Chain A
Amino acid sequence: MVNIRRKAAFRWWSRKNFWYWFFISTFLLFIRFSKGAFILDAFSTLSRPFWPGTAQREWIVNGINLEQQIRIDLLEKDNQRLREILNLQNSSKENQVSAAVISRRSRDFWQQLELNKGAKDGIQEGDAVLGPGGLLGFIETVTLTTSRVRLLTAPATKLGVWIERSKVHGILTGVGTNRPQLNFLEKTPDAELGDIVSTSPVSTLSPPNLPVGVIQSINHQNLPAPYAFVQLIASPEAIDWVQVQSRNEKR
Chain B
Amino acid sequence: MKRDKKRALYQFLGLLVPFMTLVSPTWLSISGVGPRWAELWLLPWALEEGPAAGLFGGFCLGIVLDGINLDGSTQLPALIFLGYWWGCLGRKRKYSNKSFILGSLIFSGSFLSGLSIWLQNSFQVNGNFFNIWAFYTLLAGSIVSGLIAPLLCTLSLNIFFKGNFSKVNGEHD
Contacts and interface: CB of A to CB of B under 8 A. Distances in A.
B70 A111 contact: yes
Contact of A109 (B22, B24, B117): B117
A148 B22 CA distance: 11
A140 B32 contact: no
Interface in B89-133: 114, 117-118, 121, 124-125, 128, 131, 133
A176 B33 contact: no
Contact of A155 (B24, B31, B33, B72): B72
Contact of A103 (B23, B72, B131, B141): B23
Q: Is the interface of A mostly helix, strand, loop or mixed?
A: loop
Contacts of A114: 22
B150 to A, nearest CB: 23
B32 A109 contact: no
Given A155-B121, A173-B125, A107 B33 contact: yes
A176 B121 contact: yes
Contacts of A156: 72, 121, 124-125
B133 A177 contact: yes
Contact of B71 (A103, A104, A109, A140): A140
A46 B87 CA distance: 95
Interface residues of B, number: 25
A34 B32 CA distance: 74
Contacts of A112: 69-70
Interface in B14-68: 22-24, 29, 31-34
A154 B70 contact: yes
Q: How large is the interface on A (under 10, 10 to 19, 20 to 34, 35 or more residues)?
A: 20 to 34
B154 interface: no
A71 interface: no
Interface of B: 22-24, 29, 31-34, 69-73, 114, 117-118, 121, 124-125, 128, 131, 133-134, 137, 141
Instruction: Name the 9 nearest CB pairs between A and B, nearest first.
Output: A107-B32, A156-B124, A176-B133, A103-B22, A110-B69, A110-B70, A177-B133, A155-B125, A155-B121
Given A103-B22, A110-B73, 6 more contacts: A105-B24, A108-B24, A109-B114, A150-B70, A155-B125, A156-B125
13 contacts: A103-B23, A104-B24, A105-B22, A107-B31, A109-B114, A109-B117, A112-B69, A114-B22, A140-B70, A175-B125, A175-B131, A176-B121, A176-B125
Interface of A: 102-112, 114, 140, 148, 150, 154-156, 173-177, 237
